[in-house]
Amino acid sequence: MAIFFFDIYDTGETILDPEGVELDGIDAATDEAARALIEMANDIVPDGAWRDLAIKVRDAEGQEVAHVRITVEVQSKT
């Protein structure tokens, strides 16, 4: 088990993770970041705005071990 930190980037705004989460390894941390981004995207879709979301995964030493990104763009045809 290792501690991983998930820093959130939302269209220019950054939220650093001060606490971290204990997970089995980098693969588990990357999966967790992807799931979190999908949940975030689901929450913002009704806004109808373009959003660029990313999570930088850091290890206990502060080194970036993964970067997961998703872009959401809603275009109305009405």
Task: Tell me how far the alpha carbon of residue 30 is from its chain's centroid.
Answer: 9
What 3-state class would DSSP assign to 1? coil
pLDDT score of 2 more than 90: yes
Q: What is the pTM of this model?
A: 0.84
CB neighbour list of residue 67: distance below 8 Å, 6 or more residues apart: 54, 55, 56, 57
- Give the pLDDT confidence of 12-55 residue by residue, as tens digits: 899 999 999 999 999 999 999 999 999 988 877 666 667 789 99
Question: What residue spans define the domains of the chain?
Answer: 2-72
- Give the pLDDT confidence of 51-72 residue by residue, as tens digits: 789 999 999 999 999 999 998 7
